[in-house]
Structure 1
Amino acid sequence: MHPYSLDYSTIKEKAITGRYVTNVHIDKVLGLPSTELKIEEIGLSVLQEKIKLVTLGTGPKKILMWSQMHGNETTTTKSILDLFNYLKDSSELAKTILRECTLKIIPILNPDGAFAYTRVNANEIDLNRDAYDLSQPESKVLRAVYDAFKPDFCFNLHDQRTIFNVGINKKPATISFLSPAYDKERNISKTRGISIQLIVAMNSLIQQLIPGQVGRYDDSFNHNCVGDSFQMLDTPTVLFEAGHFLDDYQREQTRMYIFYAILKGVETIAKEEIHRYVQSNYFEIPENSKLYFDVLIKNADQLRPTLPKNSDLGILYKEVLDLGTITFIPVLDKTGNLNQYFGHKTYNCLDEKDAKSVKSNKILMNCIR
């Protein structure tokens, strides 16, 4: 049985799809009349692009979210646009959330990086390594919102690469969660414990939708990371990482699962149900590993005799912005015995059909040569 009685297709924001999402795209959606959304311009990027804040709800439980801190990580932005549509609905859960919570959401924190489709901002700074230094205007905007709002919870929304799998299993990490550390020893403070319980709540739902495809992100401490910084300030903070789902390079399926995760997190806060979830279950979520290639070509020496016997090729896609769309260019990453790795697409050149498929693909053959 589906955990939520809603048809996702009815709330999905269909005006925005694919991997390239900028201010121009979201402005078309945010500019539409709405009684639920309060939209403010809260600052400017390095290149003087507007950074916007959306506020929903009037309740006492305060939740701050931000997306596209890394400009090329767009899946969660699409998910929060879906969340806006859901909260415009008249369902009992939507009414409860808006009554019990105040949500402040920055859809695109790094508009310059979004436009250029880069992780970094226009000064080539990773904003998620600027929480302590606050050297960049975008970092200062986020911190100013945090200081003024004084949130009870923070949702730090990101994408992760296709390389991640769950534990040592073949399942891709379609979603990964992290309760960031607040000290080098990675102790569990009261507020970190709360964020851990919130992740357990979300995981309990997502496991029903994509069993085994949830990972736990590395919790190494870095005081200059935003999640660690806010956790240090005693605000329960959750990192969301949107990852790969089978054949979903546009991340439209992953977008749906992230939407459900966010909705479950907000619902759990709104209904004051965090206490129902056991912290120890968080550590049962397997840690991420990096064992995936986009394309794995086994026994590639059958097509390129100069390779050592039984050589495999691991190929990763490079995401390239081309005329407003993202293209995926195969690039050779590793050569050798890759038996411990998986491929989102695998060819074994000992198989005549697979070898023929590779031979007929000029782009893959360029990687072999």
Structure 2
Amino acid sequence: MKNLIIVFLACCCFAPVQAQDANITTQLYDSYEKYKEPTLNKRRIKHQDIQPLLAAFAKNPKFKVTKVGSSIGGKSLNLVSIGTGTTDVFLWSQMHGNEPTATQAIFDILNFLDSPDFAEEKQAILNNLTVHFLPMLNPDGAELFQRRNLLGVDINRDALRLQSPESQTLKRVRDSLEADFGFNLHDQSTYYNAERTEKPATISYLAPAYNYEKDINEVRGNAIKIIVFMNSILQKYAPGQVGRYNDDFEPRAFGDNIQKWGTSTILIESGGYPEDTEKQEIRKLNYVSILSAIYTIAKENYKDIPISEYEKIPENDRKLFDLKITGATYELMGKPYKIDLGINQVEVDYEDHNDFWYSSRIWDQGDLSTYYGYENFDATGYILKEAKVYPKVLNSLKEMKNLDYQEILKSGYGYVRSSKIGNTQLNSPLPFHIISKNYQVPEFLLKPGINPTFFLEKDGVLEYAVINGFLINLKESKKSLIFLFAKKNAMLFR
């Protein structure tokens, strides 16, 4: 009975904390566009993109911008600091070069801190805290939109050996600040879901363990309390879409070690959100939840939050596909089989790593009843049909654009031959594959790893096409198909 009373009292204390910060959180969310940094509007951002922003803050007397190191490739690593408080909060982003969401959010937060708005709240933050930002720790990786640095090392597994200059910089800055709180900001796969639900893990949290036993001391406990608070914020804007990362101790990881070194460390992983390829809504959620957390640290409202709430956040799982097709009939060797397909639309970078195209794959097939999709199609009663090759060879992309796309697809053609394919062309901007004059289309045999291209027939009529993993309703007009493929693509096979 005594333990129940303690838990009840702790929860009662937590409720006023939520209520106290609800207003500022709502205002932050509603006013976000005012502070969003407009020059960082896509994921593939580079070191050169943030230099003008850092230069502007360096000239601003509110901020202190310090070069604290260089990458292997010689790109500067910079620390932006603001505030006069005795509690130090340290945020670093993009130690993996292809994880840029929080870097964008950091510059949104800096814009907010530079504005005259929210004067009372900012006074509380800047009088009680000194906040330090190290955006884009791995600029060489960002240049190539890859996880690792130029040495081929995962910086987040270099906390012990410290062989990379980026790792050395992170350790040196953390030690010099003796930061009280740390925010380790990452992106995770968009295919993570909140365990046993169809909802993506849009944001996942972790208070990293500092030993194999996963003990909770005051340092880790404070990180857990901040996470519980941030989860309560996000449930308002992305209900059910928060996950909890596995907390097995990794002795080489920075988060685990920074926790061990005495900084209450919060890992934030930005995952997926429907219809948010460039993660701009997730960026907004980072902005709101991180700023709210900083404010809560400044006000010390987190202290009464019960750590028992942490375990109630569902764990991460990985059971999402971009497209899940359920219950289709697949005919093999004259026999019909019921089959589910899990399809992922895989991004492939262009050579300059400024943009990408899709090369989709069947990721899994069979009984996928325990899996989910961002897009779902119940194919009960539909038969999977092989995509055919258009009988006429065309001479140019211009000639192909004059085709009646709807009629091509309704006739079951998923491939169109071209006598001329440009050397630099990598994919098809049209809702069918472009193939060379001599290319032989493989036999239609479903298996994981192949490009998903086929039709769905019902009662003898083709009603849907799947071209490069994208589901197309064959009732769509040519205009609609052009719009649909404005940000999608089919494949090019030479």
Normalising by structure 2, report the TM-score. Answer: 0.70
Which aligned pairs between 1:257-296 and structure 2 lie closer than 5 A? 257-296=285-324
Percentage of pairs with the same residue: 36
Give the aligned CA root-mean-square deviation in angstroms. Answer: 2.3
Q: Is the 8 A contact 2:205 2:244 kept in 1?
A: yes
CA deviations over 1:196-243 (Å, ceiling 9, x no partner): 011111111111121111111110101111110011112210000111
Structure 1 residue 67 corresponds to structure 2 residue 93: yes
Q: Does 1:34 align with 2:64?
A: no
Question: Is structure 2 residue 457 aligned with structure 1 residue 359?
Answer: no
AA matched with 1:31: A
Q: What secondary structure sits across from 1:212 in the alignment? A: coil
Whether the 8 Å CA contact 1:163–1:292 is kept in 2: the answer is: yes
Residue pairs, 1:24-103, within 5 angstroms: 24-32=48-56, 33-90=59-116, 91=118, 92-103=120-131
Seen in structure 2, the aligned counterparts of structure 1 residues 196 and 43 have a Cα distance that, compared at 3 Å, is same
Q: 2:225 aligns with which of 184, 187, 197?
A: 197
Query: In 2, Cα distance between the equivalents of 1:339 and 1:182?
Result: 37
Select the residue among 275, 279, 282 that pairs with 1:247.
275
List aligned pairs for 1:69-218, cutoff 5 A: 69-90=95-116, 91=118, 92-218=120-246
Cross-structure match for 2:380: 350
207-216 or 321-330, which moves further after superposition?
Answer: 321-330
Deviation at 1:125, TM superposition (A): 0.7
Question: 2:26 aligns to what?
Answer: 4
SS of equivalent to 1:5: helix
Of the two structures, which has the highest relative contact order with CA contacts closer than 8 Å and spacing of 6 or more? 1
Give distance in 2, aligned partners of 1:306 and 1:17. 51
SS at match of 2:345: strand
In 2, the alpha carbon distance for the partners of 1:311 and 1:138 equals 48
**Alpha-carbon deviation of 1:177?**
0.6
Measured in 2, the distance between the counterparts of 1:9 and 1:357 equals 41
| CA drift at 1:306 | 8.3
Alignment deviations for residues 37-86 of structure 1 (CA, whole Å, 9 cap, x no partner): 32222111111111111111121110111100000001111111110011
User: Counterpart of 1:180 in 2: which secondary structure?
Assistant: coil
User: Shift of residue 362 of structure 1?
Assistant: 4.6
CA distance in 1, matches of 2:147, 2:67: 22
Residue deviations 1:156-215, cap 9 Å, x none?
Answer: 000011111112011111111100001111111121111101111111111112111111
> Is 1:225 aligned to residue 247 of structure 2?
no
**Alpha-carbon separation, structure 1, partners of 2:36 and 2:107:** 8
Aligned counterparts of 1:147 and 1:306: Cα–Cα separation in 2: 68
Could you tell me which residue of structure 1 aligns to residue 478 of structure 2? none
On the 8 A contact 2:83/2:130 being kept in 1, the answer is yes
Query: Does the 8 Å CA contact 2:329/2:338 hold for their aligned counterparts?
Result: yes
- The CA deviation string for residues 236-258 of structure 1, in whole angstroms up to 9 with x for no partner, is 10000111111111100000011
Aligned partners of 2:231 and 2:242 also within 8 Å? yes
Alpha-carbon deviations, 1:112-161, whole Å to 9, x = none? 10000000111111111111111111100100101111101110000011
The letter of the residue matching 1:255 is R
Amino acid at match of 1:342: Y
Identify if the C-alpha distance between structure 1 residues 229 and 307 changes in structure 2 by more than 3 Å, giving closer, same or farther. Answer: farther
**2:463 & 2:162 partners in 1: Cα distance?**
51
- Pair member with larger Rg: 2
Distance 1:113 1:320 in 2: 16
Counterpart residue type for residue 275 of structure 2:
D
C-alpha distance in 1 between matches for 2:376 and 2:285: 25
Residues 205 and 299 of structure 1, relative CA distance in 2, 3 Å threshold: same
Q: Secondary structure at the match of 2:26?
A: coil
Tell me which residue corresponds to 2:42. Answer: 18
**Cα distance between partner residues in 1 of 2:336 and 2:205:** 40
SS across alignment from 1:51: strand
CA contact (8 A) 2:345 2:469 kept: no
Q: 1:301 to 1:25 in 2, by over 3 A?
A: farther
The residue type equivalent to 2:375 in the other structure is: K
- Residue pair 1:87, 1:95 contacting (<8 A) in 2 also: no
Task: State the alpha-carbon separation in 2 of the partners of residues 307 and 285 from structure 1.
Answer: 45
For residue 4 of structure 1, what is the amino acid of its counterpart? T
Deviation at 1:360, TM superposition (A): 5.4
Following the alignment from structure 1 to structure 2, what is the Cα–Cα distance between the partners of residues 25 and 89? 21
Match of 2:346 in 1: 318
SS of 1:345's partner is strand
How many residues in Structure 1 have an aligned counterpart in Structure 2? 367
CA contact (8 A) 1:303 1:349 kept: no
What amino acid does structure 1 have at the position aligned with 2:467? N
Alpha carbons of 1:27 and 1:350: their partners in 2 closer, same or farther (altered >3 Å)?
same
Q: 1:88 touches 1:94 (CA, 8 Å); kept in 2?
A: no
Seen in structure 2, the aligned counterparts of structure 1 residues 217 and 307 have a Cα distance that, compared at 3 Å, is: farther
Amino acid at match of 1:9: E
* Rounded Cα–Cα distance in structure 1 between residues aligned with 2:335 and 2:284: 42
1:302: how far off? Answer: 4.1
TM-score normalised to the size of structure 1?
0.93
- The letter of the residue matching 2:62 is E
Deviation at 1:297, TM superposition (A): 2.5
- Structure 2: distance between partners of 1:289 and 1:108: 27
Q: State whether residues 302 and 350 of structure 1, in contact with CA within 8 Å, keep that contact through their aligned partners in structure 2.
A: no
Structure 2: distance between partners of 1:59 and 1:307? 73
